[in-house]
Structure 1
Amino acid sequence: MRLNHQFAKSALALSIILAGHTGLAHATDSSITDNEIRIGYLADMSGVYRDPIGPLGLDAINMAIEDVGGSVAGADIVLFNADDRNSPDVGSSVVREWIDEQNVDMVTGLVASSVTLAAVKLLEEENRLGLVNGAVSSSVTNEHCSPNHIHWVYDTWAMSNGTAKAITQEGHKNWYLLSADYSFGHALEQDVERVVTENGGTIVGSARHPFPSSDFSSFMLQAQASGADVIALNNAGGDTINAVRTAGQFGITQAGQILAGMVLFSTDIRSLGLENAQGLQFTKAWYYDLNDETRAWAERFRERTGSMPTMVHAGLYSSTLHYLEAIEAVGTDDTQAVRQQMMDTPVNDIFATDGYIREDGRMVHDMYLVEVKTPEESADEDDLFRVVRTIPAEEAFRPLSESVCPLVNS
Structure 2
Amino acid sequence: MATNDGQSHVRRRTVLKSAGVAGVAGIGGLSGCLSSLSGGDSDVNELSVGYATSLSGPFAVFGQAGLDGARLAASDLEEELGVTIDVATGDTEVDPATGLQRIKRLVSEDDVDMTMGGVSSSVALKMGTWASENSVTYMATGSHSDAISGGSCAQYMYQPTASNSMLANTIGEQMVGAADSWYLIYSDYTWGQTAQSAVTSALEDGGKEVVGKAAAPFPSDDYTPYLNEAADSDADGIGLLVAGLDLRKAANQAMAKGIQDDFTLAMHQLEDVVYWGLDKENAGILDTAGQVWGPAVDNDASNEFCERIAENSETDPYVRHLLGYMSMDQSVRAAVRADSTAAEDMRGELVGHEVESDIKAIKGGGDMYWRENNQLVQPTFSVEARSQDEMTDDPYKNWFQTTKTFAGDDVARSLSETGCNLE
When normalised by structure 1's length, the TM-score is: 0.86
1:97 equivalent to 2:105? Answer yes
Which residue is 2:378 aligned to? 365
1:42 equivalent to 2:52? Answer yes
Residues 48 and 264 (structure 1), Cα distance of their counterparts in 2 relative to 1, 3 Å cut: farther
Q: Show the 5 A alignment for 1:185-224.
A: 185-224=192-231
Deviation for aligned residue 1:33: 4.5
Instruction: Give the one of 384, 391, 407 matched to 2:399.
Output: 384
Q: Is the 8 A contact 1:175 1:205 kept in 2?
A: yes
1:405 equivalent to 2:411? Answer no
Which residue is 1:375 aligned to? 388
Q: Is the 8 A contact 2:89 2:106 kept in 1?
A: no
1:45-101 deviation digits (Å, cap 9, x = unpaired): 2222222x2223222111111112269675x32211122111111111111222222
Residues 313 and 379 (structure 1), Cα distance of their counterparts in 2 relative to 1, 3 Å cut: closer
Q: Is the 8 A contact 1:367 1:393 kept in 2?
A: yes
Q: Is the 8 A contact 1:178 1:209 kept in 2?
A: yes
Q: Is the 8 A contact 2:88 2:110 kept in 1?
A: no
Deviation for aligned residue 1:213: 0.7
Instruction: Give the one of 249, 270, 280 matched to 1:264.
Output: 270
Instruction: Give the counterpart letter for 1:389 in structure 2.
Output: K
Deviation for aligned residue 1:32: 5.8
Instruction: Give the one of 269, 276, 282 matched to 1:276.
Output: 282
Corresponding residue SS for 2:351: helix
Instruction: Give the one of 58, 61, 75 matched to 2:70.
Output: 61
What is the CA–CA distance in structure 2 between the aligned matches of 1:344 and 1:186, rounded to whole Å? Answer: 29
Which residue is 2:248 aligned to? 241
What is the CA–CA distance in structure 2 between the aligned matches of 1:167 and 1:223, rounded to whole Å? Answer: 16
Residues 227 and 333 (structure 1), Cα distance of their counterparts in 2 relative to 1, 3 Å cut: same
What is the CA–CA distance in structure 2 between the aligned matches of 1:194 and 1:339, rounded to whole Å? Answer: 31
Q: Is the 8 A contact 2:271 2:319 kept in 1?
A: yes
1:117 equivalent to 2:125? Answer yes
Instruction: Give the counterpart letter for 2:373 in structure 1.
Output: D
Structure of higher RCO (CA pairs closer than 8 Å, 6+ residues apart): 2
**Is 257-266 or 294-303 further displaced after alignment?**
257-266
Instruction: Give the counterpart letter for 2:273 in structure 1.
Output: T
Residues 33 and 78 (structure 1), Cα distance of their counterparts in 2 relative to 1, 3 Å cut: farther
What is the CA–CA distance in structure 2 between the aligned matches of 1:195 and 1:270, rounded to whole Å? Answer: 28
Residues 33 and 221 (structure 1), Cα distance of their counterparts in 2 relative to 1, 3 Å cut: farther
What is the CA–CA distance in structure 2 between the aligned matches of 1:234 and 1:83, rounded to whole Å? Answer: 25
**Is 98-107 or 314-323 further displaced after alignment?**
98-107
Q: Show the 5 A alignment for 1:3-402.
A: 33-35=41-43, 36-51=46-61, 53-69=62-78, 76-170=84-178, 172-254=179-261, 256-280=262-286, 281-288=288-295, 289-348=297-356, 349-350=358-359, 351-352=362-363, 353=365, 354-380=367-393, 382-402=397-417
Deviation for aligned residue 1:215: 1.2
Corresponding residue SS for 1:212: coil
What is the CA–CA distance in structure 2 between the aligned matches of 1:122 and 1:175, rounded to whole Å? Answer: 38
Which residue is 2:32 aligned to? none
What is the CA–CA distance in structure 2 between the aligned matches of 1:233 and 1:144, rounded to whole Å? Answer: 25
What is the CA–CA distance in structure 1 between the aligned matches of 2:353 and 2:319, rounded to whole Å? Answer: 21
What is the CA–CA distance in structure 2 between the aligned matches of 1:42 and 1:257, rounded to whole Å? Answer: 39
Deviation for aligned residue 1:346: 1.9
Which residue is 1:21 aligned to? none
Deviation for aligned residue 1:196: 1.2
What is the CA–CA distance in structure 1 between the aligned matches of 2:81 and 2:342, rounded to whole Å? Answer: 14
Residues 102 and 306 (structure 1), Cα distance of their counterparts in 2 relative to 1, 3 Å cut: closer
What is the CA–CA distance in structure 2 between the aligned matches of 1:102 and 1:179, rounded to whole Å? Answer: 37
When normalised by structure 2's length, the TM-score is: 0.84
Instruction: Give the counterpart letter for 2:128 in structure 1.
Output: V
1:247-288 deviation digits (Å, cap 9, x = unpaired): 00111112x112211222111121123211215110111123
Corresponding residue SS for 1:336: helix
What is the CA–CA distance in structure 2 between the aligned matches of 1:369 and 1:71, rounded to whole Å? Answer: 33
Which residue is 2:13 aligned to? none
Residues 92 and 220 (structure 1), Cα distance of their counterparts in 2 relative to 1, 3 Å cut: same
Corresponding residue SS for 1:325: helix
Which residue is 1:24 aligned to? none
Deviation for aligned residue 1:240: 0.6
What is the CA–CA distance in structure 2 between the aligned matches of 1:99 and 1:383, rounded to whole Å? Answer: 39
Instruction: Give the counterpart letter for 1:222 in structure 2.
Output: E
1:207-237 deviation digits (Å, cap 9, x = unpaired): 1111111111212111111131111111221
Structure 1: gaps spanning 5 or more residues: 1-7, 10-30
What is the CA–CA distance in structure 1 between the aligned matches of 2:112 and 2:307, rounded to whole Å? Answer: 31
Deviation for aligned residue 1:316: 1.3
What is the CA–CA distance in structure 2 between the aligned matches of 1:129 and 1:245, rounded to whole Å? Answer: 40
Aligned residues: 377
The RMSD of aligned alpha carbons is 2.1
Instruction: Give the counterpart letter for 1:275 in structure 2.
Output: E
**Is 119-128 or 96-105 further displaced after alignment?**
96-105
Instruction: Give the counterpart letter for 1:191 in structure 2.
Output: A
What is the CA–CA distance in structure 2 between the aligned matches of 1:154 and 1:365, rounded to whole Å? Answer: 7
What is the CA–CA distance in structure 1 between the aligned matches of 2:79 and 2:136, rounded to whole Å? Answer: 21
